[in-house]
Chain A
């Protein structure tokens, strides 16, 4: 497997330890603390709330304290922003140009994001920050353009278009898609980037790399007695951990609930609306959170929507509302092939709010 674009070993192990994956986010934390495979001195966080993205929050905080310099760029005063040395408040998506959105799925299109209003307060678009920093760091050859419009027009010129045309077409270029296998077979091609050009259940590539060539099921570890396996998922209302403070969405769902099986709840004397703290196998706590009694979950598991339990007073609505699954995920299991983290290996008990 080739190393990263710079030719240097990547600290997160992607393309070295792991065969695939963009970034194994959680694997960057240990190198920040241990200095292996090389010391990491600084971190630029762009729109990534580390305390909701990476498991084992205490270890993440230790890593941040170990760095010489942390810069946070965000549209909101999220939890991690208070842990940075410098904050660049970014304009929201309604106030800025962004990179072209090119989507190559069933119906390929190119979408334009452009500002509806001028940025409020002292916020700036991300492209502006990148360019101004680049010029000051002697990287002006990477920024031969002055404005976002100029940059986007240059990009669009490669397909014989410009911004005005894209705007006239509502920012979308519809091209003929290739969603069916027949589209590829006509030219002898395949949509699957594998040696056999097929979906591979048995993979020689995995075998060569020292992995099992067939999917290898390993049963998950069981939790201690009296604890529930902590499951998490999404609500259609909220996007990750970033929309809980948005007024209209906050009104629809202002906090998460912990789903408890109805028979398990009856055994514990819990009713919907009761407020509990969740405490995991390592003593990490989050809450209080309202109980939702439902037959829709197994008796040995509890479930909650991800993204709540913000600890950020600047997030005036979402601060302190609900519980954070990330706080309760002090452990994870690593997928040796992809570098992905399996987080549903933590167990919690429910403690009534005092």
Chain B
């Protein structure tokens, strides 16, 4: 099995400077208005004092990625634990934008747009033998955000190693932050973006247990195999199934949104 890579973010080390966002945008030559990373901050009144943290919003590179599951053309795919894009395959159907539990992929210039951990130029997959997996990224460099981070809050490397480091870091942080934890060890097959949180996930607006709507598995297990065999029939079935699945997905998504309010927050 190919080595799983990951990015980790240590929110105790983040200084909120946004250098990662700038490096990402300029390094990936994103057009004006597009971005893969946003860094904001949250401040909450707690007891007599204030609690605050920086909040990073970017692709979590889920192992069981909902966007990859729903993508009908294979434009979104998994490679070494990272969720990558082959833009020329994208038809801008927008299913991924609905399916993502973190609201990450977006359509820009009729193509899906999101962080690909700087795999290849402008998110294109550059196939390389697994033995050279460490050289997947542009010229063997780390992702732009990681390379730029001035406080070493961002790391890139083998997921297993980063996870172990994150856990020992959390153990050290617990004396100051009793709720400190690694976010992303197990949900959705394990995330390719590990975050060292200093408090419970909901304090950052993150779902405690991110889930993919169950209808998406129907899509992957039934509709897509059918489409590959019986093209005419499948086309009809696909249309029907999609309408059903999409309707149900939209309903479930609305229900999930109602059930998990991001209460008591003052996003700034």
B45 CB-CB contact with A under 8 Å? yes
Using CB atoms, name the residue of chain A closest to B150: A236
A236 to B50 CA separation, bound complex (whole angstroms) = 21
Contact A249 B43 (CB under 8 A): no
Contact status of A251 and B43, CB under 8 A, knowing A236-B15, A294-B266, A296-B50: no
A248 CB-CB contact with B under 8 Å? yes
Using CB atoms, name the residue of chain B closest to A236: B17
Contact B25 A248 (CB under 8 A): yes
Using CB atoms, name the residue of chain A closest to B34: A251
A134 CB-CB contact with B under 8 Å? no
Contact B25 A251 (CB under 8 A): yes
What is the minimal beta-carbon distance from B246 to any residue of chain A, in angstroms? 33
28 A/B residue pairs, CB under 8 Å, sorted by A: A236-B15, A236-B16, A236-B17, A236-B18, A237-B17, A237-B18, A237-B22, A247-B32, A248-B22, A248-B25, A248-B26, A249-B22, A251-B25, A251-B32, A251-B33, A251-B35, A252-B18, A252-B21, A252-B22, A292-B268, A294-B43, A294-B266, A295-B43, A295-B50, A295-B266, A296-B43, A296-B50, A296-B52
What is the minimal beta-carbon distance from A233 to any residue of chain B, in angstroms? 14
Chain B residues positioned under 8 Å from A248 (CB to CB): 22, 25-26
In addition to A237-B22, A248-B26, A251-B33, 11 A-B residue pairs with Cβ atoms within 8 Å of each other are: A236-B16, A236-B17, A236-B18, A237-B17, A251-B25, A252-B21, A252-B22, A294-B266, A294-B268, A295-B43, A295-B45
Using CB atoms, name the residue of chain A closest to B49: A295
A251 to B45 CA separation, bound complex (whole angstroms) = 29
Chain A, interface SS category: mixed
What is the minimal beta-carbon distance from B22 to any residue of chain A, in angstroms? 5
Interface of A with B (CB < 8 Å)?
A: 236-237, 247-249, 251-252, 292, 294-296
What is the minimal beta-carbon distance from B15 to any residue of chain A, in angstroms? 7
Using CB atoms, name the residue of chain B closest to A259: B268
Chain B residues positioned under 8 Å from A251 (CB to CB): 25, 32-33, 35
What is the minimal beta-carbon distance from A304 to any residue of chain B, in angstroms? 14
Chain B positions 212 through 250: 1 when the CB is less than 8 Å from some CB of chain A, otherwise 0 = 000000000000000000000000000000000000000
Chain A residues positioned under 8 Å from B26 (CB to CB): 248
What is the minimal beta-carbon distance from B70 to any residue of chain A, in angstroms? 29
Chain A residues positioned under 8 Å from B32 (CB to CB): 247, 251
Chain B residues positioned under 8 Å from A236 (CB to CB): 15-18
Chain A residues positioned under 8 Å from B266 (CB to CB): 294-295
A248 to B144 CA separation, bound complex (whole angstroms) = 15
Chain B residues positioned under 8 Å from A295 (CB to CB): 43, 45, 50, 266
A287 to B15 CA separation, bound complex (whole angstroms) = 29
A292 to B26 CA separation, bound complex (whole angstroms) = 29
A251 to B25 CA separation, bound complex (whole angstroms) = 10
A158 to B21 CA separation, bound complex (whole angstroms) = 41
A115 to B143 CA separation, bound complex (whole angstroms) = 25
A349 to B54 CA separation, bound complex (whole angstroms) = 30
Using CB atoms, name the residue of chain B closest to A257: B268
A266 to B95 CA separation, bound complex (whole angstroms) = 42
Within 8 A of A (CB), among B16-62: 16-18, 21-22, 25-26, 32-33, 35, 43, 45, 50, 52
Chain A residues positioned under 8 Å from B268 (CB to CB): 292, 294
What is the minimal beta-carbon distance from A253 to any residue of chain B, in angstroms? 8
Closest 9 CB pairs of A and B: A236-B17, A248-B22, A248-B25, A295-B45, A237-B18, A252-B18, A248-B26, A295-B50, A296-B43
A292 to B267 CA separation, bound complex (whole angstroms) = 11
What is the minimal beta-carbon distance from B17 to any residue of chain A, in angstroms? 4
Chain B residues positioned under 8 Å from A292 (CB to CB): 268
A292 to B268 CA separation, bound complex (whole angstroms) = 8
A295 to B48 CA separation, bound complex (whole angstroms) = 11
A292 to B52 CA separation, bound complex (whole angstroms) = 16
A248 to B21 CA separation, bound complex (whole angstroms) = 9
What is the minimal beta-carbon distance from A295 to any residue of chain B, in angstroms? 5
Chain A residues positioned under 8 Å from B43 (CB to CB): 294-296
Using CB atoms, name the residue of chain B closest to A253: B18
Using CB atoms, name the residue of chain A closest to B44: A295
Using CB atoms, name the residue of chain B closest to A249: B22
A248 to B268 CA separation, bound complex (whole angstroms) = 20
Chain A residues positioned under 8 Å from B15 (CB to CB): 236
A111 to B22 CA separation, bound complex (whole angstroms) = 23
A248 to B35 CA separation, bound complex (whole angstroms) = 10
A292 to B40 CA separation, bound complex (whole angstroms) = 14
Chain A residues positioned under 8 Å from B16 (CB to CB): 236
Within 8 A of A (CB), among B103-125: none
A280 to B149 CA separation, bound complex (whole angstroms) = 39
A278 to B35 CA separation, bound complex (whole angstroms) = 32
What is the minimal beta-carbon distance from A48 to any residue of chain B, in angstroms? 25
A247 to B22 CA separation, bound complex (whole angstroms) = 10
What is the minimal beta-carbon distance from B227 to any residue of chain A, in angstroms? 40
What is the minimal beta-carbon distance from A219 to any residue of chain B, in angstroms? 26
What is the minimal beta-carbon distance from A105 to any residue of chain B, in angstroms? 16
A333 to B23 CA separation, bound complex (whole angstroms) = 40
Chain A residues positioned under 8 Å from B21 (CB to CB): 252
What is the minimal beta-carbon distance from A143 to any residue of chain B, in angstroms? 37
Chain B residues positioned under 8 Å from A237 (CB to CB): 17-18, 22
A247 to B31 CA separation, bound complex (whole angstroms) = 10
Chain A residues positioned under 8 Å from B18 (CB to CB): 236-237, 252
What is the minimal beta-carbon distance from B19 to any residue of chain A, in angstroms? 8
What is the minimal beta-carbon distance from B264 to any residue of chain A, in angstroms? 13
A185 to B35 CA separation, bound complex (whole angstroms) = 52
Chain B residues positioned under 8 Å from A249 (CB to CB): 22
Chain A residues positioned under 8 Å from B45 (CB to CB): 295
Chain A residues positioned under 8 Å from B22 (CB to CB): 237, 248-249, 252
